[in-house]
Amino acid sequence: MKKLINDPNDVVAEALLGIEAAHPDLQVDHHNKIIYRSDTPKRGKVGIISGGGSGHEPLHGGFVGLGMLDAACAGEVFTSPVPDQMLAATKLVDGGAGVLHVVKNYTGDVMNFEMSAELASAETGARVLSVVTDDDVAVQDSTWTAGRRGVGVTVLLEKIAGAAAEQGRDLDQVAQIARTVNANGRSMGVALTSCTVPAAGKPTFDLGEDEMELGVGIHGEPGRQRLPLAPAKEIASLLVEPILTDLPFSSGDAVIAFVNGLGGTPLIELYVMYNEVNKILAGRGVRVARSLVGSYITSLDMAGSSITLLKVDDELLSLWDAPVRTPALRWGI
Partner 1 sequence: MDENVTTAVLEEWVRTFATLIEQNRDYLTELDAAIGDADHGSNMDRGMKAAVAALDDAALTTAGALFTKVGMTLVSTVGGASGPLFGTFFLRMGASFGDSDTASPRDFAAALRAGLGGVVARGKAEPGDKTMYDALAPAVDALDLALEAQSQLATGLKAARDAAATGRDATTPMLARKGRASYLGERSVGHQDPGATTVALLLEAATESSF
79 part of the interface to Mg ion, by CB under 5 A? yes
- Least distance in angstroms from the C-beta of 84 to partner 1: 5
Among 43, 122, 209, 228, binds a copy of itself (CB under 8 A): 209
145 part of the interface to ligand ADP, by CB under 6 A? no
Is 6 or 250 the residue whose CB approaches a copy of itself more closely?
6
Rounded to 5°, angle at Cα 70 from 84 and 86: 10
Contact 307, 242 (CB under 8 A): no
Q: With CB under 5 A as the contact rule, which of the stretches 39-47, 55-63, 77-85, 201-209 interacts with Mg ion?
A: 77-85
**What are the distances in angstroms from CA 243 to CA 14, 184, 188, 230, 238?**
37, 11, 7, 19, 9
Residues found near partner 1 in the complex (CB under 8 A) = 53, 75-76, 78-84, 106-108, 111-112, 114-115, 139-140, 143-146, 149, 197, 199-200, 204, 217, 219-222
Contact 44, 95 (CB under 8 A): yes
90 part of the interface to Mg ion, by CB under 5 A? no
- Catalytic residue at 56? yes
Tell me the pairing of strands 211-214 and 185-191: antiparallel
The answer for residues whose C-beta is within 8 angstroms of residue 123's C-beta and 6 or more apart is 87, 91
Among 141, 278, 287, 321, binds a copy of itself (CB under 8 A): 278
Q: Identify the DSSP state of 231.
A: -
**How far is it, in rounded angstroms, from Cα 314 to Cα 148?**
27
Among 90, 184, 265, 326, binds a copy of itself (CB under 8 A): 265
Catalytic pick among 23, 31, 56, 60? 56
**How far is it, in rounded angstroms, from Cα 293 to Cα 177?**
23
User: What residues line the site for ligand ADP (CB under 6 A)?
Assistant: 107-108
What are the catalytic residues? 56, 219
